[in-house]
Chains A and B, each alone.
Chain A
Amino acid sequence: MSWERHGPAWHVPMRIIARMSEPIAYLGDLLHVDAPISYGAFHDLDYATRRTIPDVQCTDWPIDLTLPLSTWWVAAADSTHDPRLEKRWRRGSDGPPAMLWGWCASAADESAWEGRGAVEVRKKPALGEMSRYTPDKTTHLGSGPMKAYDLAVPTVLAREVTWYAHGDPDKVRHLLATHVPAIGKKRNIGNGTVREWVVESCDVDRSVVDETGRLMRRLPTGAVDGAQGMGAIRPPYYHPTRMVASVEPC
């Protein structure tokens, strides 16, 4: 093992459970729990502050919000990633070198998936309205940015989804219960709805690896042995600047 954890002394191991009422639109991207916690932290900011932060989809470097979680640190094994992903965990001339870091928060326990399906998302072009409001003679339904589509997004079915994290359970509970009504993709149209969030402290820290040494989340290459991949290590997980050569949990 060549990773280390840092955080305030009062941080404790915790178990996070989402009791689900809808299937989760899930593309196999591990569902790390620091992603919804980060989403909650953003929406916990006051409105005026949020308006000063550029949209994640449109900025070349999304800022890292402060989360109530401990952090893991790993020395970078290569330089294929964005250098802004690295920093020193302690400042000062005698501090350590810059390292890759992320939040001590596990991926979803995929043994919870009891079934799989797909949710179809359709877009019908507004033909009637185009006919009324535009002077154009034709519109093309089969190509271009305004084409009709029927997109099938894979879903997983679970009664409960479990994660592990290391940090402040009360603050994590506040962020999730207050600001995160759903997880996964396509949340605004009814998918991945969470009925109840349960955040409870537990005895063993399984946020990064469990007591048997099993990897519980994605880490940069070199941190542990395991399946090699390429993936994001901290939120927003879908942003290309967060990608590193990684070890994937199995």
Chain B
Amino acid sequence: MKTSGKIEIRAVALEPIVHGAGTSGNTSLLRMQPVILPDGSTGKVPFISGNSIKHKLRAAAVQYALDAIGVEDRTLTKAEVDLLFSGGHLSKSGAAVDLEMARQLEELFPVLSLCGYSAGNTMTESKLSVSHLHLICRENEWRIPDDLKASPMLALRAGAQRVEDFGTRHDMGNKTPGVRYLTEGAQESAAKGKKKALAEKAPSDKGDSAQMIYDFQAIAAGAHLWGTVHFRNLSELECAALASAFHYSAAGRQGDDLLTSVGAKNSIGYGAIRVELRSSLRVAPPQFIESTGLVGLDGPDMATRYQAHLRDRRVDILAAIRKAVS
């Protein structure tokens, strides 16, 4: 049995979200999408790219599977890691395609067929289609899903939901306690350079100092976002792999919602979001019915069966991955 459906994402930014595209001076600019508004004018709205969300799901699903299998450190090749975490690359030419290898990989290691991959001379299409995460704002009102049409956030323009923030980096070669760990020669050199710079130039110019302040634009905390993950023709194990991706990418729970992070600078407190997931299964396309589980089939036993499959077929799985990139 194959399962098709979608997972609607409703997210709230708990911290500012940094998702950059280019710089102006030393300010990192927010990634923006140009849109045509209903009155014919154009606008730009910030968004989180579907590519980054899909990569997050892929990385989480693969990490879950590797942890379940018990893959030890320093046992894979670079090509295998590239296949698993980045989707791989074409490495052969020729028209004879090893269909059996593709089927074997799908059955043994469903994460790859779920997210799509390239290996040998074969490209396998992803069964996931991940939309951009869009800001609920006035400029996006024309494409807002029905259940969000009453959202009070639609009264706000995108510009009102953008903020600028900054970070600092200190030059520890010129400050305590860092300076005391320098060798005598390095200390002398640093002091000499600083003295020379101060003597020759304006006091604010510290010569080759690595100290800096950097700015970046961000989507404001409290902003609401929406997106969709479509999936189709998933086997039971692929459903389990998709569920594992959502759960493994989450840092925790808040009520029924998942806590996770998107964008950049997650390690310094940015990008935390609370995510509500609403799953529905496609019955008579394009009609959907609500699903109780995350991916329709995931019951209490599904994760257990998936883990058992990964553990029991450990040798076959690793051999199939090695064969795919060889």
Interface residues of A (CB under 8 A from B): 21-23, 43, 47, 51, 54-55, 57-60, 114-115, 117, 119-126, 129-130, 132-136, 139, 145-146, 157-159, 177-179, 181-182, 186-191, 193, 195
Contact = CB atoms under 8 A, between A and B. Distances in A.
Contacts of A23: 33-35
A55 B78 contact: no
Contact of B95 (A21, A58, A115, A134): A58
The 3 nearest A-B residue pairs measured at CB: A190-B50, A126-B85, A189-B50
B82 A188 contact: no
Contact of A145 (B77, B80, B91, B122): B91
B78 A134 contact: yes
B73 interface: yes
A239 B175 CA distance: 62
A139 to B, nearest CB: 6
Contact of A51 (B77, B103, B122): B103
B21 A120 contact: yes
A179 B50 contact: no
A130 B82 CA distance: 8
Contacts of B55: 124
Contact of B86 (A47, A117, A136, A146): A146
Nearest to B233: A47
B134 to A, nearest CB: 9
A123 B78 contact: no
Interface residues of B, number: 57
A182 B129 contact: yes
Given A21-B143, A135-B74, A157-B42, A129 B91 contact: no
A133 B85 CA distance: 11
29 contacts: A23-B34, A23-B35, A59-B95, A59-B97, A114-B36, A114-B40, A121-B51, A122-B51, A129-B84, A130-B81, A132-B74, A133-B73, A135-B75, A136-B78, A145-B89, A145-B90, A146-B78, A146-B89, A157-B35, A159-B38, A177-B285, A177-B286, A178-B285, A182-B129, A188-B129, A189-B54, A190-B51, A190-B130, A190-B132
Contacts of A181: 129, 230
Contacts, number: 131
Interface string B87-129: 0011100010101000100000000000010000111111011
B34 A115 contact: yes
Contacts of B128: 188
Contact of A159 (B34, B36, B121, B285): B36
B59 to A, nearest CB: 8
B132 A22 contact: yes
Given A145-B89, A181-B230, 19 more contacts: A47-B233, A58-B95, A58-B97, A114-B40, A114-B42, A115-B34, A130-B81, A132-B73, A133-B71, A134-B80, A134-B81, A145-B82, A146-B82, A159-B36, A159-B38, A178-B286, A179-B285, A190-B227, A193-B131
B36 to A, nearest CB: 5
B86 A125 contact: yes
A156 to B, nearest CB: 10
Contacts of A117: 33-34
Interface in B30-50: 31, 33-36, 38, 40, 42, 49-50
B2 interface: yes
B172 interface: no
B86 A55 contact: no
A60 B96 CA distance: 9
Given A47-B233, A157-B34, A129 B81 contact: yes
Contacts of B40: 114
Contacts of B210: none
B230 A130 contact: no
Contacts of B91: 145
B148 interface: no
Contacts of B49: 119-120, 189-190
